[in-house]
Structure 1
Amino acid sequence: MELPKFTKTKEEFMSYRTSLEQKWDYENVMNYAVQEEGKKKYGEGEKKGKKENKIDTARKMKAKGYSFAEIAEITDLSIEEIENL
């Protein structure tokens, strides 16, 4: 980015430069916030997917006749959750 040529005083240039830096700082903060929000949503989706996989596995194990204790040990689901499947 090319800075405009100034015919103004040093103080005016410094004021201009400061306002640019503030603008850039603001843009960086906003970009960081958007990235963090995206990471948060990704993490929530990943957790949901893992839970769904555990439930699917538990259903299959239940259908094959595994005990609730075995299913709970393998899937980390509670026995109550397994009973409700």
Structure 2
Amino acid sequence: MVKQTAEFDWLSVIGKCLAYLCLEQAKREDPDKFKTLTNKVEFLRGMGLSQDDAAYAAGSNPASVSVQLSKQRAKKGMKRAKKTKR
């Protein structure tokens, strides 16, 4: 019987774990800053995670994060439009 070894990218796993631990530490230091899902995802993306990985690490799923981020962008766009009308 031939012994099979699974090729696994452990560096990716370690990186995701470290990003999650950094988020947890940041939440302890400034809990008000990380109340929303979008703030958590943006922090994790800044740490180098993809949007999908950041969504899972923040306790959500990629579809929900996409919706939340698009709503946030739309809200910012409306604020900018109001500022330029003045």
Of structures 1 and 2, the one with the larger relative CO (CA 8 A, separation 6+) is 2
Q: TM-score, normalised by structure 1?
A: 0.39
Which structure's CA Rg is the greater one? Answer: 1
Q: TM-score, normalised by structure 2?
A: 0.39
1 or 2, which has the higher helix percentage? 1
